[in-house]
Structure 1
């Protein structure tokens, strides 16, 4: 099941925390990316731009394999 533009998703903690991106940056990820729904706004290659919640939080580019559809 692939994730595409318009899908509602959440971040898979294990896949993000053990990624190359996590090793190259601050690993204190905000809890809302794991707990709230995010909407895929754009896609470029293997990366998807995700907007989380209805509060003013920054959109994030994440690899498609680090996301799963929110059920």
Structure 2
């Protein structure tokens, strides 16, 4: 799925990939529920990360492409 993600794609975090990641062990593992339950939009991409804007009053977040799943 990660190869199909592009700017403007609607996504949410994939819980199983994010909770067991290196990033999770390097920071607070209490992820806010909105990243798993609501839609976010990819606003920028680089080689393996996407900048995701969630429609809640919080800053955008960089997540690895394999930590995201597309939503309709």
State whether TM-score is above 0.5: yes
Q: Aligned residues, how many?
A: 70
Unmatched tracts of structure 2, length 5 or more: none
Do residues 33 (structure 1) and 35 (structure 2) align? yes
Give the secondary structure class of the aligned counterpart of 1:5: coil
Q: 2: CA distance between counterparts of 1:32 and 1:10? A: 9
CA distances 1:9-33 after superposition (whole Å, capped 9, x unpaired): 0110010000000011100100000
Root mean square deviation, CA, Å: 0.8
Cα shift at 1:56: 1.2
Deviations 1:31-63 (Å, cap 9, x if unpaired)?
Answer: 00000000000001100000001x311100000
CA distance in 2, matches of 1:20, 1:35: 22
The match for 2:8 is 6
Q: TM-score, normalised by structure 2?
A: 0.92
Structure 2: how far apart are the matches of 1:4 and 1:22? 24
Unaligned 5+ runs, structure 1? none
After the TM superposition, which parts of structure 1 deviate over 3 Å for at least 4 consecutive aligned residues? none
